[in-house]
Chain A
């Protein structure tokens, strides 16, 4: 079974540009999460989808970030316009509590975003 995949693995952009990150969760997982780790800091929650609906977006830093999950499958996270402080590693995770019994989240490899 394929795990959570993310694309691209690395992205280097200039301040003011737009970047779109993609996450493909494990097939059948209704729950999809985005996290971010800024260098030297802890992994922080951004938002949570249940299928195509945003369940919790309390961690989104500001309105420059837009997440979508059309059709309840893959998700995209767009940053527009990017700022220097947006640099970090963006992780996606998915889970299906019904199957796992607990909320075991499976993480993707992350996208390393560098804003110059």
Chain B
């Protein structure tokens, strides 16, 4: 059974700091990796996706993928209180159907 593991948190960081969110997955055949942000009571929103080993940067967000270690992470630089949310890691193979982790709760305090 495919599994995606995340620390549930909460991860608490001060405003302006770097938040580091981590995710491991079990299926070595996984091809696509996604990070969703979900505010309380709202729908998950895709914020980053990555396919290749290495880093991918988009604004304050950087996704890092290491397929050999089956590890994907999300770094949020200059964290803001508005970044406080649950971050869901999702992994998929060729079927486009993602397997989700349970999410990590991030709290950015002023």
B42 at the interface (CB under 8 A from A): yes
**Stretch of B9-17, B44-52, B55-63, B66-74 lying at the A interface:** B44-52
Complex Cα–Cα for A54 and B4 (A): 26
Would you give the shortest CB distance from A25 to chain B, in whole angstroms?
Answer: 13
Cβ contacts under 8 Å, A42 to chain B: 4, 99-103
Nearest residue in A to B8 (C-beta to C-beta)? Answer: A40
Complex Cα–Cα for A104 and B46 (A): 7
Is B43 a contact of A4 with CB atoms below 8 Å?
Answer: yes
Query: Which of B46, B99, B101, B103 is close to A105, meaning CB atoms less than 8 Å apart?
Result: B46
A7 at the interface (CB under 8 A from B): no
Complex Cα–Cα for A4 and B49 (A): 20
A88 at the interface (CB under 8 A from B): no
Nearest residue in B to A9 (C-beta to C-beta)? Answer: B41
Nearest residue in B to A59 (C-beta to C-beta)? Answer: B97
Is B100 a contact of A102 with CB atoms below 8 Å?
Answer: no
Cβ contacts under 8 Å, A108 to chain B: 43
Complex Cα–Cα for A97 and B97 (A): 12
Would you give the shortest CB distance from B22 to chain A, in whole angstroms?
Answer: 16
Would you give the shortest CB distance from B102 to chain A, in whole angstroms?
Answer: 5
Would you give the shortest CB distance from B51 to chain A, in whole angstroms?
Answer: 8
With A43-B88, A56-B95, A102-B32 as known contacts, state yes or no: A107 contacts B45, CB within 8 Å.
Answer: yes
A49 at the interface (CB under 8 A from B): no
With A102-B32, A104-B46, A109-B43 as known contacts, state yes or no: A44 contacts B96, CB within 8 Å.
Answer: no
Complex Cα–Cα for A106 and B103 (A): 18
B80 at the interface (CB under 8 A from A): no
A29 at the interface (CB under 8 A from B): no
Complex Cα–Cα for A95 and B96 (A): 10
Complex Cα–Cα for A56 and B97 (A): 9
- What residues make up the interface of B, taking CB atoms closer than 8 Å to A? 4, 32, 36, 41-46, 49, 88, 92, 95-103
